Structure 1
Amino acid sequence: MREVVTVQVGEFANFVGSHFWNFQDELIGLAAAPLGDAVFKNQHLNMDVLYRSGETQQGVLTYTPRLVSVGFKGGLGSVSARGTLYNDDADTPSNIVTWRGNVATQHSESCKKNLFLQSLSEEEQENVVSGRGEIEDKDIVECLEKDVTFWTDFSKVHYHPQSLYQLNGLWMDVQEFDNYGIGKESLSWSSQGEEIDERLRFFVEECDHIQGFQFIVDDSGGFSAIAGDFLESVADEYSNTPVLLYSVRSPSSSNMLRENKKQIVSRNLHDAVSFARLSSFCQLYVPVGLPSLSRSKATTHLCIDDQKPYHCSAVYAAALHSIGLPLRMEAHGATTDSNYVSGAVHINDLVRMLAGQGRQNMVAILDVAMPAPSVFGKHLGQSFLENLQPLTPEVTEDAEDLQALEYMAVHGVFGSGGDRASVSEVKDEICAAYEGETVKPMHCHLSTAQCPLPIPLPFPSIFGNLISQHGQLLTTPISGALSRGSLDVHSIPIAARLRSSSAILPFLERRLTSLLRHGTVQGSSASSLLRSWGFGREEVEDMGESLSKMVLALNPHPLSSSDSD
């Protein structure tokens, strides 16, 4: 088996991760349900790739994510950092026996569980009597739509005691924790870093043959610096293990309307430094997070509130789930073909596919079709490929790149008769769609499965009224509410794609320009700012050289010296 260890760093990354693990938990439950849909039972997915089996001291068997999550102190809401499966008192401070002076105790009220978490507790305690005191699903959905403060508020997953790490002395205040320097100041890796390393080592050492790390990082603020130090430590200790990194951002992190010039320069430098630092320690870097998800083409059939991380993170998590599905597909013979899945890959395979032999570009664009249309016939005059829209910011539309490399995962889509399309039908349709393109990628790998994306109860009500119960796109709107949730939509077909393409150039060039224009000018306020963040002139020049190589690999006409004036 080829295991994947997942790492989540930062509050929005944990929001994305919470939805991601809810999808996995739902898949496990549906596969085990005696009367469940056969499409979930015949999924041919090995969940052991992401999960570990364990046992409590009481002999109770456990099945928990192979995960290390790093966040603010106090960022878990009503959930214990030790989880709920292993009932111990590790979080309770011991009596002070060596101090003989006065002791002052400060006590804060613990967060109360919302209706959703209360319902989970009742189910586990088996105290629910049908029709008596039972919490209604509609009340849970309404409660979550009105008020989600913490990522744990909608998490239905049990976590191992080693999984949830809270940074000591770093209490939740996202507004002030907004740049690389603050993250660097807030955490000395030498003090807490070893504790985080130990958490990761616990999961890695249990693996038989680890295929790689999956990092989800909120790089919009100080957590970027923490993730950078973490990744550097991972690169030192596990030098031969590939890292797939998703840098995720909520729309609120992109709002610079009220920032002055100095703040804008600081933000641009942060983006450049964050990208240069994080990308240097991973094999594949995927930026995820649009300035306004609600107004993007990717959410044409969705109803998104940009101000709710609960909404935006659900879309990004769905895309990450889909693009990573082939990492845990079971191979069937030499061709990995079956009636249900095709195209199993490992992280190393994915990196090689998108790097190519000549380009060696390790920054990829993430596209999604959510929900994906039927593979037969055009929807709204668009081909299947035209329904794929970017979740990566600052990309060029309709870039003509003959050197482009693509990797696509399609699952749960419907055929012309209303049934799930077979693997061969999906392959034929995608091949035909590429043949119809005027500019084709140099190479495209396709992975496909019949298993759709399950919609768990705590998923937000973001589906429009043109989406059916099983995710088909309708021609006539469903009467009633404009947005629908998990009580109305039970699963959806979805397609996701990673592209190594020159369309990423605007993203790269803006970060390079920021370094050339601000960071390398001797005596400038920006140069002083970078020094305060711990970067000397040589380090900044090295970062600029690294970014220049990325741009040169994609652009035959690089930035001129006048561009950096």
Structure 2
Amino acid sequence: MPARARRLGLCTVQTPHLKLTMIYFSEKVSLQRQGYVTFTPRLLLVDLKGSLRHLRQEGDLYSHTEDVKPGEVHWPVEKVDVVCAPKEEKSEFLNDLENEENAMETAEALGTLPKVYNFDSAVNVWADYLRARYHPRTVSIINEYEHNGDTKPFDVFNYGADLWKTEQFQDDFIDRIRMYVEECDNIQGFHILLDGSDGFAGLGTSAVEYLEDEYSTKSKLVFPTIPSEFNNTTPLQDNMRILNIALGFHSVAEHSCLFVPLCLGSSGWKQPGVPREFPHLQYNSSLAYHSSAILAAALDTATLCYRLRTGTHTRLSEMTDTLSRLGRRVAVASLGLPFAMGYDAYLLDTLEKWEGPLWQTLSPGCNLQDDRIWIQSVVLRGVPEVRLRSAQRDGRMKQDTNPAYTCTSIQEMLSLFLSCCSYATASHVTSAYSPCNVTSPFPQIFSEFVGLDGSVSTEKRCETLGVYSVPAIAGLHSCRSAGDMLEALHLEVKKLQLKRFHYFCNSGLEEDEYQECLDHLALLRGCYHEEFDV
């Protein structure tokens, strides 16, 4: 990269093992005009009016139209009322990103540790901690509904489905999809992350249906998310949320290759339930900033199996086809963050001394600890090959009959461990050298006994220092508890009478469609009965 580009605040994040190359920049300059190549996430996102705050809808990666100043209005002053919206304040983190001599750049230049930020009280929307620079066609805003709006909430499945049917929104969004697809040399498929408990469930599933019609040969992996906590809700709102989730599950099961519900609550229906506990995390389940970071770490890790450049990797279609055998379109997610290893410990010693489950379940109504798992895809990252086992133990390999001493890679060692712990489970294991990066804006939710590199010890970390990278383990599992989750949802929805929910009826939901949803959930649950064991 040219020196001038570095002075402009450009920093390149390149991981040789991953199919990812990201460039972030901090000044509002047109890089295309200066001849620099920029890389942006191939992402399309939809949000409500007022959710961007300081962020422009077209982003600030390239040049944009300047804001009109009150004194520059060319109409007669007596005929025009100029209303200026207050300027949104940016967080310290965002100001540092835009500053040529920001704290993180200086820290990297001097070889010191990056700056630690406190976002807990400074984050209101996702744009407050956004580090990536998006392409101008990434963001779409729904102007008919407002973020946190009480008078006209976007809380009914059919509101989103009806929005998709409008010519203005659908044509624009489809054009954006086509532009991205045409830029791909060899597209594997689509990741769809949607809010499963409100109107975005209807909008997202409508988009999935379009992708199935237009790109039927490509994989569609869907992650419906449910917030980890709902505050001050009424029984009516709780029941509406269940209807939205059920209608969303019904639709994605019909049009996707595989879907994985995500929630840090243990139940996830009327109320998310008790938050999931992680031995070395201290997070606040009421903060979406915390819960979304944990789910993001799980997604980033679990999807490495088809995003690696080197080593044993698979394609997205192979993973979804394997996990969805016999009509089992629902999988369960898991995460171990961090993967608890000592600073100088070896993987073999760690696994031999391990007590309890390797991970925590991230899907509502499921518990992987005592579950019957048929097929699973597991990824372990951040453990280098040199930490497979100690050299002293290698010297005793010939005299020891333990099969673990014959393993020559992290992947083989973990595969052997899982085969010993799980009865008749087909496990696809992937190992990645790169740890999970948890520098800012990732929240500092790690316990004081987690070191800077994610290692776990009995000594406390300095209070002024954060954790910057951690080993992690994550997985996607086809298991019996996925059927239990569907059964619990079906029982909750079956108790409801559609005619009592006027918002759904008035928006076009028919009794026949509601009954079809119930029947489909029951049919999907039947695929997880034990007689279909594989």
109-118 vs 188-197, which moves further = 188-197
Higher relative contact order (CA 8 A, sep 6+): 1
- 2:382 maps to which of 403, 412, 416: 412
2: CA distance, partners of 1:479 / 1:500: 38
> Which residue number in structure 1 is paired with residue 508 of structure 2?
534
1: CA distance, partners of 2:163 / 2:214: 24
> Which residue number in structure 1 is paired with residue 397 of structure 2?
none
| AA in 2 matched with 1:409 | V
> 8 Å contact 1:82–1:90 — kept in the other structure?
no
1: CA distance, partners of 2:245 / 2:437: 34
Q: What's the offset of the Cα at 1:450? A: 1.3
2: CA distance, partners of 1:197 / 1:408: 34
Give matches, 1:32-431, under 5 Å.
43-47=16-20, 56-89=32-65, 104-123=81-100, 141-142=117-118, 144-173=119-148, 176-184=153-161, 188-253=165-230, 258-260=233-235, 262-291=236-265, 296=275, 298-331=277-310, 342-356=311-325, 359-374=326-341, 375-378=347-350, 382=354, 386-401=357-372, 404-413=374-383, 415=387, 424-431=408-415
| AA in 2 matched with 1:204 | V
> 8 Å contact 2:382–2:432 — kept in the other structure?
yes
SS in 2 for 1:251: coil
2: CA distance, partners of 1:326 / 1:432: 18
Q: What's the offset of the Cα at 1:249? A: 2.3
2: CA distance, partners of 1:224 / 1:478: 43
2: CA distance, partners of 1:241 / 1:283: 9
Q: Deviations over 1:500-533 (max 9, x none)?
A: 111112321133234443357xxx425x554324
| AA in 1 matched with 2:63 | N
1: CA distance, partners of 2:379 / 2:531: 33
Seen in structure 2, the aligned counterparts of structure 1 residues 127 and 232 have a Cα distance that, compared at 3 Å, is: same
> 8 Å contact 2:49–2:145 — kept in the other structure?
yes
> Which residue number in structure 2 is paired with residue 6 of structure 1?
none
Q: How many residues align?
A: 483
> Which residue number in structure 1 is paired with residue 8 of structure 2?
none
| AA in 2 matched with 1:153 | D
| AA in 2 matched with 1:377 | D
> 8 Å contact 1:219–1:249 — kept in the other structure?
yes
| AA in 2 matched with 1:73 | K
Percent identity over paired residues? 23
2: CA distance, partners of 1:382 / 1:533: 53
Q: Deviations over 1:423-472 (max 9, x none)?
A: 9432233233223226331x111111111112222211101012111111
SS in 1 for 2:284: coil
Unaligned runs of 5+ in 2: 1-10, 25-29, 267-271, 342-346, 392-403
> 8 Å contact 1:519–1:530 — kept in the other structure?
no
165-174 vs 311-320, which moves further = 165-174
1: CA distance, partners of 2:357 / 2:252: 31
SS in 2 for 1:444: strand
SS in 2 for 1:299: coil
Q: What's the offset of the Cα at 1:185? A: 6.0
71-80 vs 54-63, which moves further = 54-63
Q: Deviations over 1:341-364 (max 9, x none)?
A: x321221011122123xx221111
TM-score of the superposed pair, with normalisation by structure 2: 0.80
Q: Does 1:447 align with 2:447?
A: no
Q: Deviations over 1:188-221 (max 9, x none)?
A: 5323121122222221111112100111111221
Q: What's the offset of the Cα at 1:234? A: 2.1
Q: Does 1:472 align with 2:455?
A: yes
Seen in structure 2, the aligned counterparts of structure 1 residues 371 and 345 have a Cα distance that, compared at 3 Å, is: same
Q: What's the offset of the Cα at 1:263? A: 3.7
Seen in structure 2, the aligned counterparts of structure 1 residues 286 and 90 have a Cα distance that, compared at 3 Å, is: farther
Q: What's the offset of the Cα at 1:115? A: 1.1
Instruction: Give the RMSD, CA atoms, in angstroms.
Output: 3.8
SS in 2 for 1:489: coil
Unaligned runs of 5+ in 1: 1-27, 32-39, 332-341, 559-565
> 8 Å contact 2:377–2:476 — kept in the other structure?
yes
> 8 Å contact 2:486–2:521 — kept in the other structure?
yes
58-67 vs 370-379, which moves further = 370-379
> 8 Å contact 1:272–1:511 — kept in the other structure?
yes
2: CA distance, partners of 1:277 / 1:306: 28
TM-score of the superposed pair, with normalisation by structure 1: 0.76
SS in 1 for 2:334: strand
- 1:432 maps to which of 392, 416, 430: 416
Q: What's the offset of the Cα at 1:47? A: 1.5
| AA in 1 matched with 2:523 | K
| AA in 2 matched with 1:408 | V
> 8 Å contact 1:284–1:364 — kept in the other structure?
yes
> Which residue number in structure 1 is paired with residue 520 of structure 2?
546
> 8 Å contact 1:114–1:153 — kept in the other structure?
yes
Q: Deviations over 1:530-553 (max 9, x none)?
A: 432422233223222321221111
2: CA distance, partners of 1:326 / 1:313: 21
SS in 1 for 2:349: coil
